[in-house]
Amino acid sequence: MGLADLHMHTIYSYDGTATVPAVLRRAHEIGLDVIAITDHDEIGGALEAVKLASHYGVEVIPGIEITTAEGDLLALFITEKVNAGLPLIETILKVRELGGVCIAPHPMAGGMGMKSLSAISILKALRVPEVAETLIGIETYNGTAIDRVSNHYARIFANGLDIAQTGSSDAHVLEAIGIGATEFPGKTAADFRSALRSGETKFRKQKEWSTFKILGSWATNYIGSVFSRLTMSTR
């Protein structure tokens, strides 16, 4: 079985704290086969990761966490930005045009400014056949969600829809990478995509972090990432 973490952030995100090389190194160290870099409304980190991935022994799926008008959406296997702020259905159709697929991250989760899709928005979108062929997964375990109950609700919701379920860290710091992950048959990104379409994915979780650890680790690492951010902004 392969192991993937499909939702994580680098300093290309306004709230990420780790450089791309550091993320790749950490992913390899903890035994991940595949990762997806999904910075907020930004593709640069993912494209950098794709270029560097072979040096670190991990395969990278390029992606974005897109801010739609109705909440956040993970777009995977795309190499171009999709504009933020568009309606959910329109956003998914644009991802489809780019050859990608979508996962609904942390659905129905609240707190700390989290922008999550509601069950109603997802159900409405899935009524459109082309959308249902593209929005093919729901994140039913988010390793750093402060709203813990939302993971439980997401699983119930996904079970009712008979849609693929994934687990991810939603890591904004290096140490969090892999605390939520997805198991799938095979080892490659292509294998993962096939498993997602056939519903053969399974979420896996590690020991959960406390709210204090999630927030404290992020604050400490965010302060520590200031120099890296400044250096990146001058490139």
In a domain, 234, yes or no: no
- Find the CATH number of the domain harbouring 86: 3.20.20.140
Number of domains the chain contains? 1
pLDDT per residue over 56-102, tens digit each? 999 999 999 999 999 999 999 999 999 999 999 999 999 999 999 99
The label of the residue with tokens 């997805």 reads 182
| Cα 146 to chain centroid, rounded | 16
In a domain, 235, yes or no: no
The answer to whether 44 and 12 have CB atoms below 8 angstroms apart is yes
User: pTM for the complete prediction?
Assistant: 0.94
pLDDT digits (tens, 9 = 90+) for 108-139: 988 767 899 999 999 999 999 999 999 999 99
Q: Which domain holds residue 199?
A: 2-228
